Structure 1
Amino acid sequence: MPGDRLTYQDRRDIAAGLAAGLTYSVIARGLQRPASTVTREIMRNGGPAGYRADQAHQATKRRARRRTSAPPPPSPAPPTAATHGRAAEAVQDFRERLAAVLGRAGLPSMVGRVLACLYATDTGSLTSAELVQQLQVSPASISKAIGYLEKQEVIRRERDPRRRRERYVIDEEVWYQAALSSARVNAELADIAEQGAKVLGATTPGGARLQDVSQFLGHVNHDIVHSANHRWRQIHFRRTTDGVGDGSARARQASSAASS
């Protein structure tokens, strides 16, 4: 029944839905559950690629035993200026849905969850301890995910001089850099396709096909580079000069204030 805890059969149905390629929303409708419940269940138990009904059910039992033996958690603090009056459950639900989308885009489950946490903070930065607390996972899991994101140059480390710890900061230029990187690959593809058209002959079916590919990628590339280097830069510049979304400097100031 909606509102009750997930049963073993519910988890088997979730696993079957994932195997069939169903979306979280479709699976949730079949179970008559909120989509956020299904999303949370999947992301807490291996993600869409690693979800197993037996393992998920046993893990839930273990968590339930730990909760009953541990002291009750403190009541949530009332909204303050730092949270801007946001509902904690709504923010949590957003993080889980963002992590699910990042997972479908190809990111490992824990990497997507860490990235979602960083995007859902005003400072754009968190410590390892803060990530452990928010995600309820081991420090080793956080360290592995951070290493992956650093290798992809999505985040960077910054030393917090007041508390002798490192903060992980999301790179605000990451999507800009990713767009330009994609454009460079497309340019290479357009060039090799044009060469292929010449080799096969522009009047042949194969040559004409490659010529179309080259022209298509060239037009798309032009739009991407123009939007990234001109339109977005102009919009972003206006926002920062107007005091809206003042990038990493504003995030660092807020982070320092929160740490003091």
Structure 2
Amino acid sequence: MPGGRLTHEDRRSIASGLAEGLGYAEIARRLGRPTSTISREVARNGGPMGYRPDHAHQATGRRARRSRPTPQPELPGAAGAYGRDPEAVRGFVEEFATLMAQTGVPRMAARVLTCLFTTDSGSLTAAELAQLLRVSPASVSKAVGYLEDLDLIRRARDPRTRRERYAVDDDVWLRAWSTSAQKNTLWSDAARQGAEIFDSTTPAGARLEHMGLFFARLGDDMASGPITAAAGENVLTVLAALVHAATPLTAAQLATALGWPPDRVTTALHDAVQHPGLTDPVTVSRTEPGTYTVTARPDRLTNAQREALSRA
């Protein structure tokens, strides 16, 4: 009976499926239920890690004995703009928020962010969020503060009501990427400062220096932005050509040797400089104007390692 309430046996099957590591869609398929029914059942009864079938069944019984509940707040845009069942949209919100929470995002922050993403306007007031999520304004405020610190949402004043609205922009993930890259640079600078204080020849200093090198490379790679697979292949080909030649070459010489158009070589050389992670553990550098060669990355080895190698 796909449209009926979940039975005690259904809930035991859900618990068994979660224990096996099955996804909501597979559990729903086995029970002949909508995926949203399973995700909503798990979300309101402790989540994937805390779901208990007996407790869930008893809690459902208690809710059924209560007086008629007030109408559930509809997700803004669910019935009209989405063209879907509001319950299906609500189930998606809970399921997606659960997925985000499993990656380390606080549960309430994940629910707030998912709600903002699933509205056409991309913005909601604190009161709307509290009503939609059925939580206190204080819970919303704490979640909003967390998301603002990550630069994932912004505040905007509604000129009509003068109320603050919380919004997500289309470039939210690009801004979050940039913020993360900047934080990696801060980690690198702090670790390198520590390496100087403790001396990189000591275990603690060497550990801090390695940490600084790691976050420096990570920050450089993130700050330079993404690159296509084809562009990455061009970089590696130019790199292989310079290694094989074992002597500095101009872009024109590389183009002739590779049989490429000059602009393809120029772009590949530019990408090699902008994306040092692609050429690690070596780097493409200029020996003189217009001439390129390959050298070891200066940040791949610590000071102590370079000194030891020079003595070998």
Rg larger in 1 or in 2? 2
- For residues 34-88 of structure 1, the C-alpha deviation after alignment (integer angstroms, 9 at most, x for no partner) is 322211112223332343334432332333334x6357x59x9xx99x9446224
Change in 2 beyond 3 A, CA 1:111/1:218: closer
Task: Assess if the C-alpha contact under 8 Å between 1:189 and 1:214 holds in 2.
Answer: no
Question: Which residue pairs with 1:169 in the alignment?
Answer: 167
Question: Which residue pairs with 2:46 in the alignment?
Answer: 46
| Separation of aligned partners in 1, 2:93 and 2:15 | 22
SS of 1:69's equivalent in the other structure is coil
Change in 2 beyond 3 A, CA 1:147/1:51: same
Ranges in structure 2 where 5+ consecutive residues have no aligned partner: 229-312
Task: Assess if the C-alpha contact under 8 Å between 1:47 and 1:109 holds in 2.
Answer: no
| Separation of aligned partners in 1, 2:32 and 2:56 | 19
Question: Which residue pairs with 1:129 in the alignment?
Answer: 127
Question: Which residue pairs with 1:97 in the alignment?
Answer: 95
Question: Which residue pairs with 1:148 in the alignment?
Answer: 143
SS of 2:97's equivalent in the other structure is helix
CA-CA distance at 1:222 after TM superposition? 4.2
SS of 1:227's equivalent in the other structure is coil
Change in 2 beyond 3 A, CA 1:115/1:49: farther
For normalisation by structure 1, the TM-score amounts to 0.60
SS of 2:178's equivalent in the other structure is helix
CA-CA distance at 1:214 after TM superposition? 5.7
Change in 2 beyond 3 A, CA 1:37/1:103: same
Partner amino acid, structure 2, of 1:18? L
Task: Assess if the C-alpha contact under 8 Å between 1:43 and 1:109 holds in 2.
Answer: no
CA-CA distance at 1:117 after TM superposition? 1.0
Ranges in structure 1 where 5+ consecutive residues have no aligned partner: 201-206, 232-260
CA-CA distance at 1:223 after TM superposition? 4.3
Question: Which residue pairs with 2:273 in the alignment?
Answer: none
Say what the alpha-carbon RMSD is for the aligned residues.
Answer: 4.4
CA-CA distance at 1:181 after TM superposition? 3.8
Partner amino acid, structure 1, of 2:97? A
For normalisation by structure 2, the TM-score amounts to 0.52
Change in 2 beyond 3 A, CA 1:47/1:111: farther
Q: Does structure 1 residue 24 correspond to structure 2 residue 24?
A: yes
| Separation of aligned partners in 1, 2:216 and 2:15 | 42
CA-CA distance at 1:118 after TM superposition? 0.6
Question: Which residue pairs with 2:84 in the alignment?
Answer: 87
Q: Quick one: percent identity of the two aligned structures?
A: 45
